[in-house]
Homo-oligomer: A and B are copies of this chain.
Amino acid sequence: MTASSIANRSLSDLARQTRAAARNLAALSGADRNFAVSAIATALAENAEAIAAANAEDLVAAAAEGIPQPLQARLKLDASKLQGAIAGVRGVEGLPDPVGLVQIRRELDAGLILERVTCPLGVIGVIFESRPDALIQIACLALKSGNGVILKGGREALHSCRILVDVIHRALASTAVDPAAVQLLTTREEIRALLSLDSEVDLIVPRGSNAFVRYIQDNTRIPVLGHADGICHLYIDATANREQAIAIAVDSKTQYPAACNAIETLLVHADAAPTLLPAIASSLRERGVTLRGCERSRKIVPMAAATDEDWATEYCDLLLSVRVVDSAADAIAHINTYGSRHTDAIVTDDAAVAETFLSQVDTAGAFHNCSTRFSDGFRYGFGAEVGISTQTLPPRGPVGLEGLVTYKYRVVGDGHVADTYSGEDAKPFTHRDF
């Protein structure tokens, strides 16, 4: 037996245990599920020192290995970050129960009632990078929504992930939730094995780069909720309000440049460019932004030349590409060619142009006269979020608990058979909604 087939077999056993635990979890009341989430918050607070110590081990190793500074920063789980994570868990506890919602209630005929009711997905596999606080949030979202969860964190966060799952397991032991509902994978080989378990795992949530999400999609039959990069745009129309255009450009680029909802490309209408582009460029440069532009924009504001590659790049940095376009239609065409269907905004005082832009731009977030940085589950009022999906199918955009539930149709009758409603003298359905 090869190492990989052993990994496959043992992981498959583990996934079956998770599935069994998830079935029991799904049968619990919302109060029982919330009690488990609450127990985790309490246990995290009680074990803060041990968690910080384990995290310190990861940080020392990361520094020794020369892991890039931003990654080290994300890896850090100090007292203040843990406090924030615990507050997040309490927030999840306070969210409405996503399970058992009746979406449709319809009489098909007298005494024959159809209901569509939300229910957990089953078992969710989450593959995330270094941030150990993501583990806490995702585990609690999964339990709140009645799902088992198999977690795979980054190798550099191993000690942190181990103690967090250990604390979660001990917390769950005092609740109605079987600790086996939360599992941790620790080796890279297990990712491949996890992706092959399409009969035991119902959804994969990869959190990482576009390339990583693509790799996952190419190597599994399991549905993928991709939290991928964002190539977001801001289009300044001919009739844009000058102050709004400057403020929104600055906020969308610089408020948090590493965020997926920050803009990478600024599109400016040719009529507005001569007066507006210099002012916007100067405000951005004051905040340390480097610009790369098309030929036309470079004639208005001197800057390095942008290449085709720039239009397709998420910089995650204080870099912005700039292009002058002749119309809103050209801006929409540029976005629909190079965008990643994340978030794209227009600044205009022309209501008709705004409506065309909002309806034709192919994106999860179509914004008018506001910053792209609002594209976020917390800001939308969804509470915690699983990720921001750049896929076309629902759930897309910022995804909260609703991405972790599905529904089933329940039909309850009193001996009803389909033959009554078929053939020559078929009885008609009433199809009456309650």
Interface residues of chain A, those whose CB is within 8 Å of chain B, are 23, 26-27, 106, 108, 112, 114, 119, 121-122, 202-203, 214, 217-218, 221, 223, 241, 243-244, 247-248, 250-252, 255, 336, 354, 356, 358-360, 362-371, 373-375, 379-381, 391-394, 396-398, 406-419, 421-422, 429, 431
Q: A369 contacts B415, CB within 8 Å?
A: yes
Q: Identify A112's interface contact among B365, B370, B393, B397, CB under 8 A.
A: B370
- Please give, as numbers and ranges, the residues of chain B lying within 8 Å of A365 by CB-CB distance: 408-411
Interface pair A122/B392, CB less than 8 Å apart: yes
Report A137 CB to chain B, min CB distance, Å. Answer: 19
Question: What chain B residues lie within 8 Å of A114 (beta carbons)?
Answer: 380-381
Q: How far is the CB of A228 from chain B (nearest CB, A)?
A: 12
Q: In the bound complex, what is the Cα–Cα distance between A248 and B336 (angstroms)?
A: 52
> Quick check: A370 and B223 within 8 Å, CB to CB?
no
Closest to A363 in B: B408
Contact partner of A364 among B255, B409, B415, CB < 8 A?
B409
Cβ distance A29 to chain B, nearest Cβ, rounded Å = 11
Contact of A221 among B119, B217, B373 (CB under 8 A): B217
- When the two chains form their complex, are residues B379 and A429 in contact, meaning their CB atoms are under 8 A apart? yes
Q: In the complex the two chains form, is B429's CB within 8 Å of A381's CB?
A: yes
Residues of B near A26 (CB, < 8 A) are 359-360
Task: Summarize A's interface: helix, strand, loop or mixed.
Answer: mixed
In the complex where A108-B380, A417-B370 touch, is A202 in contact with B244 (Cβ < 8 A)? Answer: no
Residues of B within 8 A of A354 (CB): 412
Closest partner residue, chain B, to A337 (CB atom): B199
A367-B411, A373-B419 provided; 8 other pairs, C-beta below 8 A? Answer: A203-B392, A244-B415, A250-B417, A367-B413, A368-B413, A373-B417, A379-B421, A392-B406
Instruction: Chain B residues near A415: list those with CB within 8 A.
Output: 241, 243-244, 247-248, 369-370
Complex Cα gap A112–B379 (Å): 11
- Closest residue of chain B to A393 (Cβ to Cβ) is B223
**Given A221-B214, A394-B407: A23 and B360 interface contact (C-beta under 8 Å):** yes
Identity of the chain B residue whose Cβ is nearest the Cβ of A414 in the assembled complex? B369
CA distance A108 to B406 in the complex (A): 27
Q: Are B27 and A359 in contact (CB under 8 A)?
A: yes
Q: Counting chain B CB atoms within 10 Å of each CB, which of A354, A375, A410 scores highest?
A: A410
Give the shortest distance, in Å, between A147 (CB) and chain B (any CB): 11
Residues in B with CB closer than 8 Å to A356 are 27
Known A-B contacts A114-B380, A373-B417, A421-B379; the reply to A410 vs B368 at CB < 8 A is yes
What distance in Å separates the Cβ of A402 from its nearest Cβ neighbour in chain B? 9
Please determine whether A375 and B417 come into contact, CB atoms closer than 8 angstroms. no
Residue from B112, B359, B366, B371 within 8 A of A409 (CB atoms): B366
**Residue of B whose beta carbon sits closest to that of A433:** B381
- CB-based contact B379/A108 at 8 Å: yes
12 contacts between A and B (CB under 8 A): A27-B359, A202-B392, A244-B414, A250-B417, A251-B418, A365-B409, A366-B408, A366-B411, A369-B416, A370-B417, A371-B418, A393-B406
Q: Is the CB of B381 within 8 A of A406?
A: no
Q: Which residues of B contact A373 (CB under 8 A)?
A: 417-419
Chain B residues contacting A217 (CB-CB under 8 Å) are 221
Q: How far is the CA of A343 from the CA of B242 in the complex (A)?
A: 59
Contacts of A221 in B (CB 8 A): 214, 217-218
Determine whether the beta carbon of A412 is less than 8 Å from that of B368.
yes
Asked if B374 and A108 sit within 8 Å, CB to CB, the answer is: yes
A370 adjacent to B255 (CB under 8 Å): no
In the bound complex, CA of A112 to CA of B359 (Å)? 18
Residues of B within 8 A of A218 (CB): 221
| Contact status B397-A409, CB under 8 Å | yes
CB distance from A396 to the nearest CB of B (A): 6
Q: Whole-angstrom distance from the CB of A31 to the nearest CB of chain B?
A: 16
Q: How far is the CA of A415 from the CA of B362 in the complex (A)?
A: 22
